[in-house]
Amino acid sequence: MVLFGLFVLLLAAVAWFITEAHLSGDNLDRYDGGKRTPINADSPPSAAHHEVVGEMASFVSADSLPSGGSRLSAIRNAMDTMGDAADLENLTRIETVAEGVPAEWIFAPNADTSQRLLYIHGGAFTAGSPRSHRPITTALARRLGIAVLAIDYRLMPEASRQDGIDDCRRAYRWIHTHGPGNYHRARRVFVAGDSAGGNLTLSLLSWIRDVGAPPVDAAVALSPATDATFSSPSLRSNLETDPMLGPPLKRVVEAPNALLLWFAWLSAKISPAHPSVSPVRGDLQGLAPTLIHVSEAEILRDDAYRYYYKALEAGSPVTLESWEHMVHVWHIFEPRLPEAHQALDHISRFLQPYLLSVPAAPEPAAMAAG
């Protein structure tokens, strides 16, 4: 019995050491407290936003979705169906494969397809697709006049977390040398993503710098998840004000943090403190110009703020804009939400200085990519 007790104590000590030294990462509290004035600080939320909040409450209720394995399928189907509201009129959509990754091009008439944006969708790494996020990709294609490539990276649990990361990296290399029209090589490349896709976007920026991949000209992260260690204060303080993520994650984030860290490690097979899954915990020097959007009401608010302040401290050109009241990734409700329209206009203004205004010279037909 004594030996058994000693064994249990030893096991507990090892678990504690692994949690503290390998899973939790450095304390980032010093990046908390600073805030920005919300873009819509002087405006109440629109009537359409109140409608969206009501619909979110209905969707995430326990009675609205099946239980068990069919729940994830229902969520995936619901997200894809939401994307069907996107307006594809006068836009070209071309299905393609980006170095093994299924994807789709979307671009407007007379678009400069030598300038391209890689879009990485959100969905908690388990849902979402190019179809679900067409309200965003179509809006960006129209506003920017460039080719938007939305990728269908591999999702958990069928694939590993690393598989999704690798898909983004392969697609990024591919987009530099493949286009949808008459131009083969890219003259400008941008990266954008929301939520989980925002995480993958920010992780990709560090990887591009570290491996010397072709540089990205600018990036956009919408309501990004930047820290897989569950340490951001708003994960708990904003549970009641986030109608989309708050209800389904309430029980999760109220669990002991050590248990959450072990669950994250075992499910992703990557330490939650590793920069590939927690970009805020990496070196943020020398990164591309980046715009971050976040809602003051969502649980990922402090993920965005922590990344912003740490990147500023490291000298990287990062801009953060916040909105009051908005649901998580409210941009996806374009054109229904006036606030979504406004936020997408801000993205367009941010990227405009990095776009080339001189049309590219056509390349030989043999170099054109389909």
pLDDT tens digit string along 297-345? 999 999 999 999 999 999 999 999 999 999 999 999 999 999 999 999 9
Per the omega criterion (within 30 degrees of 0), is the bond before 256 cis?
Answer: no
Contact 106, 141 (CB under 8 A): yes
Q: Which residues of the chain have pLDDT under 70?
A: 1-24, 60-69, 182-183, 265, 361-370
Distance from C-alpha of 277 to C-alpha of 203, rounded to nearest angstrom:
7
Query: What is the CB neighbour count within 10 angstroms for residue 240?
Result: 12
Q: Which of 195, 231, 271, 322 is catalytic?
A: 195
**Would you call 328 a catalytic residue per the annotation?**
yes
What H or E segment, with its residue span, contains residue 3? helix 2-18
pLDDT of residue 63: 53
pLDDT of residue 17: 39
Q: Which of 296, 298, 321, 339 is catalytic?
A: 298
CA distances 355 to 147, 186, 360, Å, are 12, 12, 12
Cα 248 to Cα 62, 67, 244, 258, 285: the distances in Å are: 9, 13, 8, 20, 35
- Cβ within 8 Å of residue 361, ≥6 positions away: none
The pLDDT score that the predictor gives to residue 21 is 45
DSSP-assigned letter for residue 120: E
The C-alpha torsion from 105 through 111 and 116 to 119, rounded to 10°, is -50
From the list 328, 331, 334, 339, the catalytic residue is 328
pLDDT at 369: 42
Q: Which two tokens stand for residue 216?
A: 């990205």
The answer to whether 130 and 103 are in contact (CB under 8 A) is yes
pTM: 0.90
Tell me, yes or no, if 195 is annotated catalytic.
yes
